[in-house]
Structure 1
Amino acid sequence: MTDTPRRPLRVLLCGAVLQNFFDLPSTEIGKVWQATGQLLRGIRDLPGVTILGTIDDDETMVGTSPTGWPWTFYILADMPDRDTVVAACNLLRTIEIDGYRLWRYMRFEARIGRELVIPEL
Structure 2
Amino acid sequence: MKEKGLVSIQRLAACHSEVLTRRLHDVCLAVTGEVTNLRSKVSHLAISTLGDLFQALKKNMDQEAEEIARCLLQKMADTNEFIQRAAGQSLRAMVENVTLARSLVVLTSAGV
TM-score normalised per structure 2: 0.28
Bigger fraction of residues in strand: 1
Which of 1 and 2 has greater Rg?
Answer: 1
TM-score normalised per structure 1: 0.27
Bigger fraction of residues in helix: 2
Higher RCO by CA contacts (8 Å cutoff, separation 6 or greater): 1
